[in-house]
Amino acid sequence: MIDKTFPSVDAALEGVHDGSTVMIGGFGGAGQPNELIDALIAQGAKDLVVVNNNAGNGETGLAALLKAGRVRKIICSFPRQVDSQVFDGLYRSGRLELELVPQGNLAERIRAAGAGIGGFFTPTGYGTALAEGKETREIGGRMYVLESPIHADVALIKAERGDRWGNLVYRKTARNFGPVMAMAAKLTIASVHEIVPLGELDPEHIVTPGIFVHRVVRVARSATGPAGFRAAA
Amino acid sequence: MTGAGYERLSRDRMAARVARDIPEGAYVNLGIGLPTMVANHLPKDREVFLHSENGLLGMGPAPKAGDEDYDLINAGKQPVTLLPGGAFFHHADSFAMMRGGHLDICVLGAFQVSATGDLANWHTGAADAIPAVGGAMDLAIGAKRTFVMMEHTTKTGESKIVERCTYPLTGIGCVSRIYTDLAVIDVTPHGLRVVETVEGLEHAELERITGLPLLPAA
């Protein structure tokens, strides 16, 4: 019987090696798998390359992983936030490398890795500092930049419900990077708030089919807190 | 009043002016900051689809105090609501909606816009600033029409509409229309064309403030 469920987050994090590229889902706090990140800190892997939209909020979750000194480089689109003090300090003191990627390029580079695409031409960023040194091409009268896929050794994602085959559904905008990151990693570990029997997830509604998911672990439900909030004008 | 015979628009009136140009049925992304205010001025009987880059269409207003759900947030990470008929999707689909030209209008703030529609709105270029781009570059080039909404001049009085951007670029030739507290200006192949100015502001005075030649309103 196939059973991808794991009894604990610690068990689910076994085998993450030093030097791994780790994708971590989430947009600010929504979809950030805090329990898996805490387990990664406890597990001890270091010299990591982390892929996330942001670079941590406050002192918990991804910020705690950075603070623990486990991350060599971060690939993200929006590191600077009102509560990104951990990242800010490490970056300014030269202890953390940053690869800044426009958000849509980040999502598409991750998707490309999962979809077996060797690279793609995108209009985003053409003529800007973030496309410097990259191959460009005119296609149909418009200028495009060649972007490469981002592969990962491990993806840590947060979903709402899953089953023992690894099928997942998400909750509201906490979905964000989960589905594409699940596709792009050799080992995808999903935390869910509920593990349901096979067949209970409506096959018409499954967002991430189990083929992309290797380990599922249940964590207690806790309300997502505010993070990275920027006051409106 | 400035004493110059005209009055600059408040941020609310700028937002109301942009809202006038957003038609029923439009798919629209409102950028973080000033553009967010446009939503407050869309008439209730006009159906407009608001897109948020983190993965929703059919975004509704902020929830009542106490009803905040931080799994349901906008691009500024503020809690929002979902209208009946709204949908959630992942990031690659969300940015496909932009890059693929499916959004009708995107409204963005800016540090500078050039005479040819180049946009600078993501980085001041200051040596000690931590760069952060988010979806700015995708938004700038993705929608069918990109509106910029900004004060016409900086706090020290320099025009934010410039011959060539001095801040790092977000996109090239991507801005179609500029809404400021002094005027609405179209970026055209022939140059910047004034659509309208605030009451009492003469064309020559607007050109002087802008520091660039402007084609007169038709």
pLDDT in tens, chain B (218 residues): 456 799 999 999 999 999 999 999 999 999 988 999 999 999 999 999 999 999 999 999 999 999 999 999 999 999 999 999 999 999 999 999 999 999 999 999 999 999 999 999 999 888 888 888 999 999 999 999 999 999 999 999 999 999 999 999 999 999 999 999 999 999 999 999 999 999 999 999 999 999 999 999 87
ipTM above 0.85, yes or no: yes
**A89 within a domain of the structure (yes/no):** yes
- Provide the pLDDT confidence category of residue A232 given band limits of 50, 70 and 90: very low
Reply yes or no on whether the pLDDT at A164 is more than 90.
Answer: yes
CB-based contact A195:A167 (threshold 8 Å): no
**A123 within a domain of the structure (yes/no):** no
Q: What is the 3-state secondary structure (H, E, C) of chain A?
A: CCCCEECCHHHHCCCCCCCCEEEECCECCECCCHHHHHHHHHHCCCCEEEECCCCCCCCCCHHHHHHCCCEEEEEECCCCCCCCHHHHHHHHCCCCEEEECCHHHHHHHHHHHHHCCCCEEECCCCCCHHHCCCCEEEECCEEEEEECCCCEEEEEEECCEECCCCCEECCHHHCCCHHHHHHHEEEEEEEECEECCCCCCCCCCCCECHHHCCEEEECCCCCCCCCCCCCCC
What whole-number distance in Å separates Cα of residue A232 and Cα of residue B155?
19
Helices (H) and strands (E) in chain B, counts: 4, 12
What is the interface size between A and B, counted as CB pairs within 8 Å? 173
Give the per-residue pLDDT at B197.
97
What residue ranges do the domains of chain B occupy?
11-41+103-210
Among A residues 102-131, those touching chain B with beta carbons less than 8 Å apart: 102-108, 110-111, 122-130
What whole-number distance in Å separates Cα of residue A231 and Cα of residue B5?
34
Q: Write the residue in B68, B95, B172 that is nearest to A107 by C-beta.
A: B95
Provide the CATH number for the domain around residue A22: 3.40.1080.10
Range of the domain at A180: 18-100+151-218
pTM: 0.96
**A5 within a domain of the structure (yes/no):** no
Taking residues A70-74, report their average pLDDT: 98
Chain centroid to CA A162:
18
Of A76, A128, A131, the closest CA to residue A106 belongs to A76
The residue assigned the tokens 């801005």 is: B175
- Provide the pLDDT confidence category of residue A48 given band limits of 50, 70 and 90: very high
Nearest residue on chain B to A115, alpha-carbon basis: B92
Is A28–B168 a contact, with Cβ atoms under 8 angstroms apart?
A: no
- Provide the pLDDT confidence category of residue A225 given band limits of 50, 70 and 90: confident
Give the pairing type, strands A152-158 and A21-24.
parallel
Q: How far is B72 from chain A (nearest CA, A)?
A: 5
Number of folded domains in chain A? Answer: 1
Is A30–B137 a contact, with Cβ atoms under 8 angstroms apart?
A: no
Residue B33 has which token pair? 């900051």
Residue B7 known to be catalytic: no
- Residue B28 sits at φ, ψ, to 5 deg, of -135, 135
Taking residues A11-34, report their average pLDDT: 97
Q: Write the residue in A92, A100, A227 that is nearest to B77 by C-beta.
A: A227
Q: Which of B7, B53, B196, B202 is catalytic?
A: B53
Q: Does A191 touch chain B (CB under 8 A)?
A: no
Nearest residue on chain A to B142, alpha-carbon basis: A124
- Provide the pLDDT confidence category of residue A230 given band limits of 50, 70 and 90: low
Q: Does A233 touch chain B (CB under 8 A)?
A: yes
**A223 within a domain of the structure (yes/no):** no
Give the per-residue pLDDT at A231.
45
Q: How far is B25 from chain A (nearest CA, A)?
A: 23
Q: Does A85 touch chain B (CB under 8 A)?
A: no
Give the per-residue pLDDT at B3.
61
- CATH number 3.40.1080.10 is the correct assignment for the domain at B11-41+103-210: yes
Give the per-residue pLDDT at B59.
97
